[in-house]
Amino acid sequence: MTMDRQRLHDHALGAFLGVAVGDALGATVEFMLPSEIKFQYGTHRDIIGGGWLKLKAGTVTDDTEMALSLGRALIASNGWNVAAVAESFGAWLKTRPVDIGNTCRRGIQRYLMDGSLSGPFCEGDAGNGAAMRNLPVVLATLNDNAAFRQQTLEQAHLTHNHPLSDAATLALGEMARTLLKGGGVMECRAVVKALICAHPKFQFNPYPGRASGYIVDTMQTVLYHFFNTDSFETLVVDTVNRGEDADTTGAIAGMLGGALYGASAIPKRWVNKLEKKVVSEIHQQVSELLRLAKS
Residue 3 binned pLDDT confidence (cut-offs 50, 70, 90): low
**pLDDT at 268 > cutoff 80:** yes
DSSP string, 234-256: HHHHHHHTT-SSHHHHHHHHHHH
**pLDDT at 258 > cutoff 60:** yes
Instruction: Give the H or E element holding residue 124.
Output: none
Nearest residue to 236 via CA among 17, 58, 7: 17
Cβ–Cβ < 8 Å for 152, 169: yes
Rounded Cα–Cα distance for residues 68 and 87 (Å) = 13
CA 132, distance to chain mean position in Å, is 3
Rounded Cα–Cα distance for residues 2 and 45 (Å) = 35
- Find all residues with CB under 8 Å of 6, minimum gap 6, and list them: none
**pLDDT at 38 > cutoff 60:** yes
- Find all residues with CB under 8 Å of 226, minimum gap 6, and list them: 185, 188, 235, 253, 256, 257
**pLDDT at 28 > cutoff 80:** yes
Which sign, positive or negative, has the C-alpha torsion 69, 286, 220, 197?
negative
CA torsion, ordered 137, 133, 101, 45, to nearest 10 deg? 180
Cβ–Cβ < 8 Å for 256, 176: yes
Rounded Cα–Cα distance for residues 223 and 189 (Å) = 10
- Which backbone phi and psi does 50 adopt, to 5 degrees? 75, -135
Tens digits of residue pLDDT in 160-214: 999 999 999 999 999 999 999 999 999 999 999 999 999 999 999 999 999 999 9
pLDDT recorded at residue 295: 85
Tens digits of residue pLDDT in 105-124: 999 999 999 999 998 898 98
Residue 2 binned pLDDT confidence (cut-offs 50, 70, 90): low
Rounded Cα–Cα distance for residues 271 and 276 (Å) = 9
Give me the mean pLDDT over the 261-266 stretch: 98
pLDDT recorded at residue 282: 98
Rounded Cα–Cα distance for residues 218 and 228 (Å) = 16
Beta-bridge partners for 214: 127
Query: What does pLDDT average to over the chain?
Result: 97
Give me the mean pLDDT over the 274-281 stretch: 98
**pLDDT at 1 > cutoff 60:** no
Tens digits of residue pLDDT in 55-112: 999 999 999 999 999 999 999 999 999 999 999 999 999 999 989 999 999 999 999 9
